[in-house]
Amino acid sequence: METTTLKISGMTCMGCVNSVTRVLKATPGVADARVTLDPAQATVQYDATKATPAQLMRAVEEAGYDAE
């Protein structure tokens, strides 16, 4: 299991935090996602054979936020 931390921009409230958490957890291979508003980041535990950081970032971007 790998852990990565993504910087997220565009989140303004707990609703955004919940949205980002939901899309990350729905991404295949993700075991856990912890998202905070301050600092605006997501710490994601994932199976590196099923998901890549690029896929995690894409999932966040498709939900309307920016990830790096």
Which residues are near Cu ion by CB under 5 A?
12-13, 15-16
Tell me the closest approach of the beta carbon of residue 34 to Cu ion, in angstroms: 17
Q: Give the nearer residue to Cu ion in terms of CB position, either 35 or 57.
A: 35
Tell which residue, 66, 57, 13, 12, has the closest CA to residue 33: 57
Name the amino acid, one letter, at 9: S
Tell me the closest approach of the beta carbon of residue 28 to Cu ion, in angstroms: 25
Tell me the closest approach of the beta carbon of residue 39 to Cu ion, in angstroms: 16
Q: Are 18 and 6 in contact (CB under 8 A)?
A: no
